[in-house]
Amino acid sequence: SKMKSRFFLGCIGSVVILVTSPLLAILANSVAAGANPVAAIADDNSVIWKVVLLDLFQRVTGESRLLPGGGSEIEPGMTKITFVDAYALVSWVWGDGGGQTVLVKENERWRAIVAGSGELRFSTLVQYKIPRDTARSLINRDKGAPEKQPPVADLFIDLLPQLQEKTDALILLPSELPMSKQPIYLRREVASRSYRINLVLTRNCDGSNPCTVGSFIANPVAPVYEPGDMFIKDVALANSIRGYFTPSRCDGAFCTPAKIEWDWEGFSYKIELKRVGRDVNEEEVVMIAIANSAIIAGPR
């Protein structure tokens, strides 16, 4: 514990924004007294980073889980700050690892709420009493969602809040979908790190092929990607993302939907839809447009 304290204190001393004896004195007094990290009166990035460093220092003296691999003597550094209302999500790197810290501004003072190695999840922020809408916005904005996000397609309006409530997965859904001549109903399967939305023609559809017209799926990225179809084709999607398109095919009365898949931020996304084009080329154009609509809108 003492070795960790000396190491991290050395790191703090070498960071330009912290080379001030009053701040080091505050740090020493706070740790000696077992107090919470001292909040700073300001909202500029440098002061937020000071609060993050003070919080990390206090945490690392008591537990080693925040130390990156090997504890190599490399200064921690801030890579990004995302602001939503009175909250800030700070991403930082340290040695071979990194993590995130969430702070709140109360009475003109910034206070660290939660920190962890890797990326913080929506459910974790909610556990620390961060409002659900704010927690979701912090995660999504950190991943590039625009402040003014295009609305989700009408079909998903009622379902989206249910997904947001129950999953840590980054939710990608399009703003636009081709119109259907028949009523479409939704059936959902939601887990902590995944979701599946089935588009069906009847309320009591059991997921069988005749009554299912498509699906929107997200799962954690598998260690190895194995294309499930010999007709798969590489396609270019928005934001320089590589996608995989598979055309629909019919064998008698049994038809498989057109598919488009891509990986992004640790998740694999798949869209499957039937009857979206008169031929393979039109299917590809439509499926790419739907995928791009979801990607450009950003996580919801």
**Dihedral angle over CA of 272, 278, 281, 283, nearest 10:** -20
Residue with tokens 């931020």: 265
Angle at 286 between CA 147 and CA 155, to 5 degrees: 55
- What is the average pLDDT across 146-170? 96
pLDDT band at 152 (very low <50, low <70, confident <90, very high): very high
**Is the separation of the CB atoms in 170 and 179 below 8 Å?**
no
What pLDDT score does 60 carry? 75
pLDDT at position 247 over 60: yes
What pLDDT score does 253 carry? 74
pLDDT band at 8 (very low <50, low <70, confident <90, very high): very low
Q: Which residue has the higher pLDDT, 68 or 76?
A: 76
Give residue-wise pLDDT tens across range 57-72: 888 776 545 555 544 4
Gap between the terminal Cα atoms of the chain = 42
What pLDDT score does 179 carry? 79
Angle at 280 between CA 279 and CA 282, to 5 degrees: 70
Computed over every residue of the chain, the mean pLDDT equals 83
What pLDDT score does 228 carry? 63
Q: Which residue has the higher pLDDT, 132 or 67?
A: 132
pLDDT at position 180 over 70: yes
**Is the model's pTM score more than 0.85?**
no
pLDDT at position 32 over 50: no
Give residue-wise pLDDT tens across range 183-235: 999 999 999 999 999 999 999 898 777 899 999 999 999 877 666 666 789 99
- As a whole number of angstroms, the distance between CA 198 and CA 215 comes to 4
Element (H, E) at 99: strand 97-106
H runs (alpha helix) in the chain: 2-14, 21-33, 45-62, 122-127, 132-142, 160-166, 280-297
